[in-house]
Amino acid sequence: REDRNLAEASRWVSHSRDVLETSGSLRSHLSDAGIARRMFLQGDRKQIDAFDAAARASLADFKTLRSLIADNKDQQRRLDRLEPVLNGRLEVLKKSIAAHTEGANDEALQEALTEQSTRLVAQFVEQTREFENVEREFLRQRSTLAEESARRTSQAYLILSLSVFCFIIIASVGLNRELSRRKQTERAIAKQKTLLQSILDTCNDA
């Protein structure tokens, strides 16, 4: 039973770590998308592919994150609030790249889009921090439960080992006593046979 409890506790610890790792990956990919957009505006045309890859990875991370917290309604609501911010940030970046691709004098537009993107980033960071703080608290609680379960499992194994050891000692002592009694009985029987034989040997014939 303790083994099963430990396995379950360890599974939830791994689950929380997966959620935090996926959330970190989402933040990283979204940041990569912003960097690609900035470098594209500076003249690096190859950054369009990098931006597309980062945007796809961000959406994939968000989808994975939603599936991971499907069992937690509170975290689902936090993701519901985060989703439009994520999509809005990507849309602003796409709009900025598209406007620059058209080749028009878009300095004022780019400044406006940059300001909008900055506000969305601030919202994204704040909501992501809230989401991750909740998950870190889950991780702390689940790690504590896993440690307690591991301690109980170790104690159970220790008790079981001691019980088996004591059983072996008791069984060995009992077996030795039984063997000793058998040997004593065999010696007594041999002694009686010797006595009877000596008596028969000294008797006259009928």
pLDDT for the residue numbered 33 = 93
Count the neighbouring beta carbons within 10 Å of the beta carbon of residue 91: 16
pLDDT for the residue numbered 77 = 94
Cα distance between residue 70 and residue 54, in whole Å: 24
Cα distance between residue 34 and residue 37, in whole Å: 5
pLDDT for the residue numbered 92 = 92
pLDDT for the residue numbered 110 = 83
DSSP letter (8 states) at residue 203: S
| Average predicted confidence (pLDDT) for the chain | 88
- Cα-Cα-Cα-Cα torsion 41, 46, 52, 53, nearest 10 degrees, comes to -130
Q: What are phi and psi of 42, to 5 degrees?
A: -85, 0
The listed range with the strongest mean pLDDT (30-44, 104-118, 139-153) is: 30-44
Extract the tokens encoding 9.
């506790």
Confidence of residue 105 (pLDDT cuts 50, 70, 90): low
Nearest partner of 114 among 130, 129, 99, judged by Cα:
99
pLDDT for the residue numbered 206 = 52
Q: Which residues contact 16 (CB under 8 A, 6 or more apart)?
A: 135, 136, 138, 139, 142
Cα distance between residue 194 and residue 189, in whole Å: 9
pLDDT for the residue numbered 17 = 94
pLDDT for the residue numbered 84 = 95
Confidence of residue 151 (pLDDT cuts 50, 70, 90): confident
- Contact between 85 and 120 under an 8 Å Cβ cutoff? The reply is yes
pLDDT for the residue numbered 27 = 94
Burial code of 102-136, b = ≥16 C-beta within 10 A, e = fewer? eeeebeeebeebbebbeebbebbeebbeebbebbe
CA atoms within 13 A on the CB side of 59: 11
pLDDT tens track for 44-93: 888 889 999 999 999 999 999 999 998 899 999 999 999 999 999 999 99
Q: Which residues contact 9 (CB under 8 A, 6 or more apart)?
A: 142, 145, 146, 149
DSSP letter (8 states) at residue 205: P
| Single pTM value for the model | 0.71
